Amino acid sequence: MLAIPSFEKPVDSLVDLEPAVKKQGFTLGTVRDSSFEFIFKFADGGIYQEVWKLFSTDRRISFFASPAGAFSQITTSKFIMVNARLNSMIRMTKLGWERYYMSRDSFYPQGYGIACNTGAPFKPIFDRHMLWLVEAGLVNKWAQDEIAKVRGEAEPVETGNGLEAISLEHTQAVFVIVILGHIFATGVFILEICLAGVCGIKEKEKQINRTEILTTPDQLY
């Protein structure tokens, strides 16, 4: 969700939309006939249904043919737009990050897929490979590369304050280090047990030899 930066309480979640619309005078909008309109319009209850009631009954005010029309409304009036995050980031990068405010929270995460015919035998393979691309972080990297192209930069794109939320990508290295640490500790533990067993056997052999020498002195004569 995007709005013009201001000193008013920011809209950071769906819960913040109701007071923003009813008390602060904001207008809520999105792209018409999009997946966002669909989930709000056909919600059976809960927060999605409550959000649908906040859209204007005049579709010309709340629903736009493309994100471009809604973006122009954000900077000229008290307007909040519900839009795809990547699309919003690319447009904000092109038009200027300082002109917009993006909510901290996201909802309704969109997936990635390839359209196939019903019963296509290769669909499971596509599903598996698409999952690998997402889990490997390639989709996120490609998204950042596209934003960098808009800015005309070769360097990775940084967010406004240089801070970024910790994601699964950041924890992968830590997870590998922890696993390697466990493997190393297990190896050392097994080695210690083996060495203790070998040393114990040698110690018993020494004790047996001493006993034989001490208990059979007559063999010396």
Do 100 and 120 lie in one domain? The reply is no
Do 102 and 116 lie in one domain? The reply is no
Do 101 and 117 lie in one domain? The reply is no
Do 174 and 128 lie in one domain? The reply is no
Total domain count for the chain?
3
Asked if 54 and 18 touch (Cβ cutoff 8 Å), the reply is yes
pLDDT for 78-88, tens place per residue? 999 998 888 88
Do 95 and 12 lie in one domain? The reply is yes
Q: Is the pTM of this model over 0.75?
A: no
Q: Which of 143, 163, 183 delimits the end of a domain? A: 163
Do 143 and 181 lie in one domain? The reply is no
Do 8 and 106 lie in one domain? The reply is yes
State phi, psi for 197 to the nearest 5 degrees: -65, -45
Q: Structural domain of residue 155, as residue ranges?
A: 111-163
Which residue in the block uniquely carries the two structure tokens 């995050």? 85
Do 15 and 94 lie in one domain? The reply is yes
pLDDT for 81-127, tens place per residue? 998 888 888 888 888 888 888 888 887 766 666 777 888 888 888 88
